[in-house]
Amino acid sequence: MVDLVSSRETAQFVTIGIDRETFAVPVENVREILDMQPIARLPHAPPFMAGMIDVRGQSVPTIDLRLKLGLPAVDATDSTRIVVLDVTIDGRPRILGIIADRVIEVTALADHSLEAPPEVGVRWRSDYIHAIGRVNGTFVIVFDLARLFSSEEVALLETPCAAP
């Protein structure tokens, strides 16, 4: 069992699809979900850093999760979404966008059903994973958002945001 939900027995997650996998981010970290839109590339940024988007006048750094996870790039489809997140990295609140192949649903995951990530057998770094759960027989990989985005990587794109 992995404690993600503190004193609660279940927590709500937004599930997203990347390639054939289902990932989850805590619903409280999700600011909004946007249709795919033009992204301004930044020179000398790592390939997984897609660039910046404009969200109501605010510049939001956006990361291509496929590339971050070492998966091949694909063209955006009608299902591609940008999930805008509030994330704390090194104690600093930040706003980041992540590109997902699709947004699936909001779902509850029970604390007792979450397992620690395996050290082997996954296609990407296991330290990006906080826990693994199951929804209707499908594995759901819960991201550790603070580890998924290193402070050095985010510093290339973003300035700290004001806490909401």
pLDDT tens readout for residues 3-18: 454 445 889 999 999 9
Residue 120: band (very low, low, confident or very high) from pLDDT cuts 50, 70, 90: low
Rounded CA separation 95/34 (Å): 14
- Tell me the sheet residues that pair with 95: 86
**What are the chain's domains?**
10-155 (2.40.50.180)
pTM of the shown model: 0.83
- The torsion angle over the Cα atoms of residues 88, 102, 22 and 84, rounded to 10 degrees, is 10
- Tell me the sheet residues that pair with 160: none
pLDDT, mean over the chain: 84
